[in-house]
Structure 1
Amino acid sequence: MSSAANSAEIEIQTEDNGTFQNIIRHIMSFKDNPISILLIRHPPVRTSIEASNQRQVPLHSGAKAMLVCQKNTDQFTLVILPAHLSCDTKKIASVLSIPSSKLRMANEEEVRKITGCIPGAVPPFGALFPQSVKTLIDTKMSQSTSHPPPLTFNPHVELFSVNDPEWPNDLANATLPEHAHQDRTDCINFNIGLRTISCSIPFDDYLRVLGEQNYFICDISK
Structure 2
Amino acid sequence: MLCVQKTAKFSVLSCGQATRATQASGDADDTLFRKLIALFEARGVAHARLLHAPTLTSEASVVERRKGGWTDTTLGSGAKAMLMRRSKGGFALCVLAADRKLDWKKLKKAVAKDLRLATTEEVFEASRCVPGAVPPFGSQFFAETRTFVDHSLGQNERINFNCGLRTQSVRLDFDSYLALEQPTLVDIVAS
Superposition TM-score tier, normalisation by shorter sequence: 0.7 to 0.9
Task: State the partner residue of 2:105.
Answer: 90
Task: State the partner residue of 1:129.
Answer: 141
2:117 is matched with which residue: 81, 84, 105?
Answer: 105
Shift of 1:10: 7.3
Task: State the partner residue of 2:185.
Answer: 217
Task: State the partner residue of 1:202.
Answer: 173
C-alpha separation in 1, matches of 2:112 and 2:61: 33
Greater fraction strand: 2
Task: State the partner residue of 1:26.
Answer: 39
The letter for the 2-side match of 1:87 is L
Aligned residues between the structures: 163
Shift of 1:96: 2.3
Shift of 1:196: 0.3
The letter for the 2-side match of 1:205 is S
Shift of 1:36: 1.0
Shift of 1:11: 7.6
1:117 is matched with which residue: 119, 123, 129?
Answer: 129
Normalised TM-score (structure 2): 0.81
Q: Which runs of 5 or more structure 1 residues have no equivalent in the other structure?
A: 1-8, 146-185
Shift of 1:132: 2.7
Question: Is the contact between residue 40 and residue 47 of structure 2 (CA under 8 Å) also seen in structure 1?
Answer: no
Question: Is the contact between residue 79 and residue 160 of structure 2 (CA under 8 Å) also seen in structure 1?
Answer: yes
Q: Does 1:40 align with 2:50?
A: yes
Normalised TM-score (structure 1): 0.70
Shift of 1:97: 4.3
SS for the counterpart of 1:64 is strand
Deviations 1:22-49 (A, max 9, x none): 111211221xxx2110100000000000
Task: State the partner residue of 1:5.
Answer: none
Calculate the aligned-residue CA RMSD, in Å.
1.6
Which of the pair has the greater relative contact order for Cα pairs under 8 Å at 6+ separation?
1
Indicate the structure (1 or 2) with the bigger Cα radius of gyration. 1
